[in-house]
Structure 1
Amino acid sequence: MSDTQNLDNYWINYLKENDVIETEDEVSKSIRTDREKVIFLLNSVLSVFTSAVADENNYRGGEIPCFLKPFGSYGLGGYIRNADIDVVLICSQLIKRRDFFRFFPDTLRQLATIREIETIKNANVPIIKCVVDNISVDISFVRLRENHCDKNMDLLDDRYLKDIHETCRASLDGPRVNSFTKKQIRERHVYIFQRSLQCIKHWATRRQIYNKPIGYLNGSAWTLLLLKTYMDMRDTPNLSITLLTCTFFNKWRDWAWPAPVLLTGEIPGGEHGRRIELRHLPEFQDAVMPIVTPCYPVSSAAPNVTKSTLKIMTREFERAAVILDDASTEPKETLKKLFNNIEYFKKYQNFMTIITSSTLQSSHETWQRKMPNVIPQFLQMLEKSPDLRCIQPVTKPKLESHNYRTNEERKALEMGMSVAEAKQLDLNGQLNPGMVYLSFFFIGIQVESSCRFLNLSEQVDSFEKLLHSRRTKYDDDVRWHVTAFSRKKVKDIIFCNNRKHMAL
């Protein structure tokens, strides 16, 4: 695909034929797309929400100003099918955060089409999660220090950050970056940027390097890398999807990390206009892949990347660039190869496996969220071993649940044994029936050819101590087992028919 002209239709047709994006027929079936219906539905409950807040606080001053602002891939028009929708509820100072978490979920529960409502308060950006017509939605909250706010306000105006709570600043970062991104893209290039973004997100998903907590990048970081690529070439005549996407892969395979990625001439200094140096910001001091968000206050878009996950992503950039530079292959075959799904079981013979077990479903769900955030620290521990050549965390866990009869059977399941193996240990055990919930996180490892005996006991011990330090009074039922499994053992865990809830 070295000839970059007149090839854009191949990219677009691939996205449509493989259900990555909606077709024109799907969009034209109704006045609103499915995602537009979701936003319309959420907007329809705002008056009910603000009325509940007004009644609670005895406010009689008329309608309370607030509005919903989509951002992220949906806000840019570069989303892929089944992607979540990110929305922020921006409110005047009349609505407090406790009002949001108290009344907004109850308001959503009044609608039959909204289900799986969950509040996540203990996060850098607290959210309410829900599912609307099978589309997942994350709703964050911002309380401005203003009595009024409206949809036309310029979120890039730093004065709106003045005196607001630190959590609100963090929640406002995504929408501000979204506004910044839109301002950089020339009108004639919007369609090209959107389709290119969809191609890159689909590629990252298929190659399983789309996961921020576990050490790769999320949609925001991929968007910033594409935006940097675009800004460096937006004056190029006849810009196309093919040219932008091919340049993207070539640019980032050759980037001299840890040189920072900056989208502004200098780091935004914010309301006081002072100059900020990156080396003075704690989160960038040891950053492996420093991608700097473009709005004040700046943050790292890739905080969990380690040396090993950067190595994996760089290899993927290289692989993509080589495939696209091969002019001897038909475009359809080129794209098929580019988007080919990675097969871990051909690449790795051994896997470090983290098994989290619990007897309460609430603990199981909590550690599904918590474990990806601590895996990068385990990767850093493993990286200290000179005997490991390659370390690659698998982005999706395998989830299971099983009934057990005895403690012996439960313990066997918690160590990764199959149901049949566990039942063999059940014969003489003391009856104590229950349900055990399991999650398996896998990390593929390649050992140096010179290594005769691999010993990772020190790293495993350190990681288990870290896990125990993250335990709270609410998850006393949680246990961990960290061990090495062969390729065959991992395949048996993932594909064995007598296991439930296969998710990988």
Structure 2
Amino acid sequence: MAAGKEFLGVTPPISTAESSEREKEVTITLMDELRRQNTFESEEEAKIREIVLGRLASLVKLFVRKVSISKGLSEAAANAAGGKIFTFGSYRLGVHGPGSDIDTLCVVPKHVSREDFFDVFEPLLREAEGVSEVSGVPEAFVPIIKIKISNIPIDLLMARLALSSIPDDLSLKDDNLLRNLDERCVRSLGGSRVTDEILRLVPNVQVFRDSLRCIKLWAQRRAIYSNVNGFLGGVAWAMLVARICQLYPNAIAGAIVSRFFIIMYQWSWPQPVLLKQIEEGPLQVRVWNPKLYPTDRSHRMPIITPAYPSMCSTHNVTASTQMIMTEEFKKGAEVVDKVIVGSASWSELFTKHDFFHKYRYYLQVIASTGNSDLQIKWSGTVESRIRQLVMKLEYVDSLKIAHPFIKGFDQVSYCLSEDEVRAVAQGEISDAIANRKKEDVEGKEGVNPVYSTTFYIGLAIEPKPAGAVGPRRLDISYPTTEFTKLVKSWEKFDESTMGIVVRHIRSSSLPDNVFDKGERPPKLVQKRSKGAGKSSNISPEAPNKKPRSSQSMSEIPLKATENGGALIPAALSSVMETFDPFPPKNTEDIKTPQLPFGENAAVATGAVGVQ
């Protein structure tokens, strides 16, 4: 228990009662269901992970020794410099599943720089036996190297402490270790320090793990598990579950899960979720003052990390994603209530999301390049800014919710002509291109691979006012144009190698790769209305029509890379389809910001005809 009081957390427990017999029964069935859902890894995979982490620890020591020698240290000093790894995230919390990655922190002494981490350690990893898919991202908010060792994915962060050597028994709990560190090192250390603090602040670690494993699976299935896209990430979900465990310290997993949904649905946001009292630390660290966060009105669902320096783990939440999560909490509470009384099973809680069946209209954000390594960085950059597009869309009249999906869909298209490259960059991938495999084009000249990642945002439109006649128009030109400008402002953006296209489509035009096999609803065939005057019917069931644009693809110049790879033309960046098959001929009345590259306003207007 916390020093000076008889309970964990910032308030006394709601109840210290033991779980009822019924709650014990549903806990047994919950654990059985989690096993059926394959959320536990096998003993064999667990042993492999331990071996992999042992190898990684040796590689870190080798890296530190190599840098130490290069900087003039003696053999004895280089060997004593040490270096240590710490795990955090789902693996450290004990809720990881088969195939999940391991979040790992490499702690090095003061003479090893961040540049050494990427210039020395990354090449060393590439040469190490059993290591594959090495990809460093030094410019990330938290610089990272992604690797695989024996097919186990690992995310490597690095922190340099103000110590001449790193002993094997080092603990990161001491706040004084953060003295005089730069902000990136403080952020890197935060993951491990927060994870350890969460485990220290829960009354029963095993109950916490069982409950969190359930909530994590539920959030993933309901497509609300993603910090970058405005929902909650792993650390936020862990803190929410930990807080419920503090409020019911003697409850078991079934009871914790039941109370979780009820409390989360009724929670009075923006009341901050705290696992412990926030205290001002004495350290001079150039990071945010933790006392400001609980009163910061810009944070809609503040969940504050318990380790110094405390941070808000939910600063990405928007008005739309908050409403979506609140609705999911409500649905979850209804299902769990039925489970408790015996009228439903736990499997109903883990029903897959209905994102691609839920809306009539969607935005597609397509990031594309001609190089696989470049695509990883470019698509990651675009994804990190999707939240900004959502926030801008929320200000559009008649748009209730802009719902981002939690991941992008990757695709490689092998194009045989410039026309095909243009089409793919626009998101128009024919069956011929989609079915074309790498082996089908080997040895052929003029083959251009196009790597694309497509992100989706569902658009919920307000109901048509009573008595309104005819289709309405939803002008999303400003947010979409500002978004393309934003992603192009990335310091490494190159218009000759990177493409960004934003367009809106109907639900009936969604590509097959967003659906599981047999999941796509059958398309209804309707007779086409006669006469142009009856063409405003744009229901999802209406037959697809070829999108019109005031500028055809063939009129847009296309370049090619020096090495033969496909370059996505920058001029495609703002080209967008319109839902209305007969857009207004007079574009002078359409007010839209100045568009780059001289596109006609009608091309990028984004004026969506809606029913």
TM-score, length of structure 2 as denominator length: 0.73
Match of 1:414 in 2: 425
Distance in 2 separating the partners of 1:495 and 1:154: 46
Distance in 1 separating the partners of 2:328 and 2:137: 33
Distance in 2 separating the partners of 1:358 and 1:233: 51
Distance in 1 separating the partners of 2:274 and 2:463: 39
8 A contact 1:283–1:300 mirrored in 2: no
The alignment partner of 2:457 has SS state of strand
Match of 1:338 in 2: 349
The alignment partner of 1:4 has SS state of helix
Q: Which moved more, 1:13-22 or 1:166-175?
A: 13-22
2:359 is aligned with 1:348: yes
8 A contact 1:279–1:285 mirrored in 2: no
1:109–1:471 CA distance, 2 compared to 1 (3 A): closer
Post-superposition offset of 1:443? 0.8
2:145 is aligned with 1:128: yes
Letter in 1 for 2:409: K
The alignment partner of 1:7 has SS state of helix
Letter in 2 for 1:138: D
Match of 2:219 in 1: 204
Distance in 2 separating the partners of 1:283 and 1:38: 43
Post-superposition offset of 1:160? 0.5
Distance in 1 separating the partners of 2:294 and 2:267: 23
Q: Deviations over 1:261-291 (max 9, x none)?
A: 2222234434379xx9767469945112211
1:19–1:475 CA distance, 2 compared to 1 (3 A): farther
Q: Which moved more, 1:370-379 or 1:144-153?
A: 144-153
8 A contact 1:352–1:444 mirrored in 2: yes
8 A contact 2:398–2:462 mirrored in 1: yes
Match of 1:317 in 2: 329
Aligned residues: 477
8 A contact 1:88–1:171 mirrored in 2: yes
Match of 1:229 in 2: 244
Distance in 2 separating the partners of 1:66 and 1:437: 38
Q: Deviations over 1:229-277 (max 9, x none)?
A: 222222xx4x10011111111111111222222222234434379xx97
Which residues of 2 match residues 3-22 of structure 1 at below 5 A? 3-22=22-41
Post-superposition offset of 1:490? 1.0
Post-superposition offset of 1:439? 1.6
Of the candidates 88, 95, 100, which is equivalent to residue 78 of structure 1?
95
1:76–1:420 CA distance, 2 compared to 1 (3 A): closer
1:265–1:46 CA distance, 2 compared to 1 (3 A): closer
Post-superposition offset of 1:119? 1.1
8 A contact 2:106–2:158 mirrored in 1: yes
1:313–1:270 CA distance, 2 compared to 1 (3 A): farther
The alignment partner of 2:81 has SS state of coil
Which residues of 2 match residues 171-190 of structure 1 at below 5 A? 171-186=188-203, 189-190=204-205
Distance in 2 separating the partners of 1:133 and 1:422: 34
2:180 is aligned with 1:169: no
Distance in 2 separating the partners of 1:339 and 1:464: 36
Q: Deviations over 1:32-81 (max 9, x none)?
A: 62321221221232342233123211211242122111111111212222
Of the candidates 201, 208, 218, which is equivalent to residue 193 of structure 1?
208
The alignment partner of 1:103 has SS state of helix
Match of 1:449 in 2: 463
Of the candidates 440, 443, 448, which is equivalent to residue 434 of structure 1?
448
Distance in 1 separating the partners of 2:248 and 2:516: 50
Of the candidates 370, 382, 387, which is equivalent to residue 398 of structure 2?
387
Match of 2:15 in 1: none
1:101–1:432 CA distance, 2 compared to 1 (3 A): closer
8 A contact 2:293–2:302 mirrored in 1: no
8 A contact 2:304–2:310 mirrored in 1: yes
8 A contact 1:203–1:339 mirrored in 2: yes
The alignment partner of 1:386 has SS state of coil
8 A contact 2:278–2:291 mirrored in 1: no
Q: Deviations over 1:479-500 (max 9, x none)?
A: 2221111112114464699xxx
8 A contact 2:82–2:168 mirrored in 1: no
Letter in 2 for 1:172: L
Letter in 1 for 2:147: C
8 A contact 2:369–2:497 mirrored in 1: yes
Distance in 1 separating the partners of 2:374 and 2:294: 32
Match of 1:296 in 2: 308
Consecutive unaligned residues of structure 2, counting only runs of 5 or more, are 1-18, 435-444, 466-471, 518-611
Between the two structures, name the one with larger relative contact order (CA 8 Å, sep ≥ 6).
1
Of the candidates 505, 515, 526, which is equivalent to residue 485 of structure 1?
505
Of the candidates 11, 36, 42, which is equivalent to residue 56 of structure 2?
42
Match of 2:496 in 1: 476
Of the candidates 123, 126, 132, which is equivalent to residue 115 of structure 1?
132
8 A contact 1:258–1:287 mirrored in 2: yes
Match of 2:176 in 1: 159
Which residues of 2 match residues 268-283 of structure 1 at below 5 A? 268-271=280-283, 280=292
Distance in 1 separating the partners of 2:432 and 2:246: 58
8 A contact 1:69–1:151 mirrored in 2: no
1:216–1:151 CA distance, 2 compared to 1 (3 A): farther
Q: How large is the RMSD of aligned CA atoms in angstroms?
A: 2.8
Identity %: 28
Match of 1:144 in 2: 161
Larger Rg: 2
8 A contact 1:345–1:491 mirrored in 2: no
Post-superposition offset of 1:473? 4.9
The alignment partner of 1:33 has SS state of helix
Consecutive unaligned residues of structure 1, counting only runs of 5 or more, are 424-430, 498-504
Letter in 2 for 1:64: A
Distance in 2 separating the partners of 1:420 and 1:245: 45
Match of 1:501 in 2: none
8 A contact 1:66–1:92 mirrored in 2: yes
The alignment partner of 2:263 has SS state of helix
Post-superposition offset of 1:144? 1.0
Letter in 2 for 1:6: E
1:484–1:46 CA distance, 2 compared to 1 (3 A): closer
